Amino acid sequence: MAAPAIELRGISKRFGPVVANDRVDLVVEAGTIHGIVGENGAGKSTLMNILYGYHRADAGAIRIDGVPTRIARPIDAIRAGIGMVHQHFMLVATFTVLENLLLGAEGGPLLAAGAARLRAELARIGREHGLDVDPDARVGDLPVGLQQRVEILKALCRGARVLILDEPTGVLTPQEADELFRILAALRAQGRTVLLVTHKLREIMAVTDRVSVMRGGRMVAHRRTAETSREELAELMVGRKIQLRPDKRPVRPGRPVLTVRDLEVADDRGVRRVKGVSFEVRAGEIVGIAGVAGNGQSELLEAIAGIRSADRGEILIAGRPVRGASNARPRGVGHVPEDRLRMGLVGHLPASENAILGYHRRRDYVAHGLLRRGRIVDTCAGWLERYDIRPRAPLMPALAFSGGNQQKLVVARELEHDPELILAGQPTRGVDIGAIEFIHGRLLAMRDAGKAVLLVSVELDEILALSDRVLVMFDGRIVGELAAEEADERRIGLLMAGIAAEAA
């Protein structure tokens, strides 16, 4: 039997007092897709960064194709035939695809020869793997899925036989993710090895041959994908039984809280993204808006939250129109924004100051124009306790919390100010399973307490798990409405793809 493509033995790494990797072993057979799952902070990224030479392990050995290899810097990894595609792309947006590939592989002071060589190489790889990208397109103009393809090409052009992908689908639409998986399967067919780091179990089940589970810096299990299940993996990741589908009480909708009529909204560039949308959300129900990202859901949500002005139509909260974000919150609109780091939080400010963002004019927090600091910190500390946000450090900058804990902080802030209407935009994006379970539980509790919830999500699982009614958006319009009982992945999927309801 051939030597494994990668063999890690006893890898340990500490950052100050934190043990990120504790005697980790990993064997990856050549020509397979190997998944590594674990919650945020389980040590997956650290392990991959050690393999790629960003960090040096405190202890342990690395063998590549059976040969002991010292990897101190990324260049060592590249020479050993390892390529990495980062979660956040390392591309120059204003350069063309070819120029990006040329970076670090110029092959001399004059670019022409290297460029010509790369162009030929690119065409060859494109033929072999079905990885077509226009070499002269500007990277900034390409959709995210194609940018990721450029990253993969970059690794392949440098002769990578082992490809590491770190959370590759976080920024992709479901279609783009499927396309990526097709590419990964093609690479495997060519005998290359893929290491897929993710916390999404659906992807693990869909494409990997084997899977290794990490928890708390240790490797806790290795499985053949065919012999395991999502439930088992979830349990291994979290260390306890996990409910992937929450229990729901029967819905009892009350009076309408949100009414949207003939709404039209444009994006920042003036392109109309919401084209005449009307619907209602009643007290005590969760209405889910499904759709492929970029079909107007974001603009719709921002318009209702008062962040984006509508060109036409009406938005009524409890029968009265809203004017702007500073007006929406006092009227009882809680808003969990789609992008927590850009909008929902101010990364460099402490958790306590983030806990009042948008509510900082309330008398609970301000007296005579001055912040009531003691009360703000106490309030925040209470939420950290009740929402199990770790560490319990209200004065720590929001950035220093993990993604799941950041999101729980945003959710706490928006749910704890007693809203009547909750706008939840991708409430569990980039969040680990434990936090997903918690946030879903909180949203259902708000619904049972008689609040109206509008959920926008590109995760079909999430829509199906929570919604009492599902609206499907396509190209700025609502193209279908399904009750929870009649909603399933196939029907919603067809509507999302823009195929009319009758055909479904």
Q: Which residues contact other proteins by CB under 8 A?
A: 14-17, 41, 58, 305-307, 324-329, 335, 337, 339, 342-349, 353, 356-358, 360-361, 366, 369-371, 373, 396-397, 399-402
Please work out, in degrees rounded to the nearest 5, the angle formed at the alpha carbon of residue 52 by the alpha carbons of 432 and 95.
Answer: 90
Instruction: Report residue 7: phi and psi, to 5°.
Output: -135, 115
Cβ atoms of residues 373 and 394 within 8 Å: no
Nearer to other proteins, 252 or 360 (CB): 360
Q: How far is the CB of 26 from other proteins (least distance, A)?
A: 21
Q: How far is the CB of 15 from other proteins (least distance, A)?
A: 7
Nearer to other proteins, 118 or 214 (CB): 214
> Can you give 273-310 as a three-state secondary structure string?
EEEEEEEEEECCCEEEEECCCCCCHHHHHHHHHCCCCC
Sign of the alpha-carbon torsion through 313, 318, 321, 324: negative
Cβ atoms of residues 108 and 114 within 8 Å: yes
Select from 348, 421, 406, 413 the least CA-distant residue to 383: 413
Nearer to other proteins, 91 or 322 (CB): 322
Cβ atoms of residues 132 and 122 within 8 Å: no
Nearer to other proteins, 69 or 402 (CB): 402
Q: How far is the CB of 371 from other proteins (least distance, A)?
A: 6
Nearer to other proteins, 225 or 402 (CB): 402
Q: How far is the CB of 430 from other proteins (least distance, A)?
A: 13
The C-alpha atoms of residue 376 and residue 322 are separated, in whole angstroms, by: 27
Q: How far is the CB of 298 from other proteins (least distance, A)?
A: 13
The C-alpha atoms of residue 273 and residue 477 are separated, in whole angstroms, by: 9
Q: How far is the CB of 42 from other proteins (least distance, A)?
A: 12
Q: Decide: residue 170, CB within 10 A, 0-12 exposed, 13-18 middle, 19+ buried.
A: middle
Nearer to other proteins, 137 or 393 (CB): 393
Q: How far is the CB of 50 from other proteins (least distance, A)?
A: 15
Nearer to other proteins, 245 or 320 (CB): 320
Task: Find residue 316's DSSP bridge partners.
Answer: 259, 321
Q: How far is the CB of 368 from other proteins (least distance, A)?
A: 9
Which residues, 6+ apart, have CB-to-CB distance to 263 below 8 Å?
Answer: 274, 276, 277, 278, 300, 303, 310, 312, 313, 314, 315
Nearer to other proteins, 88 or 249 (CB): 88
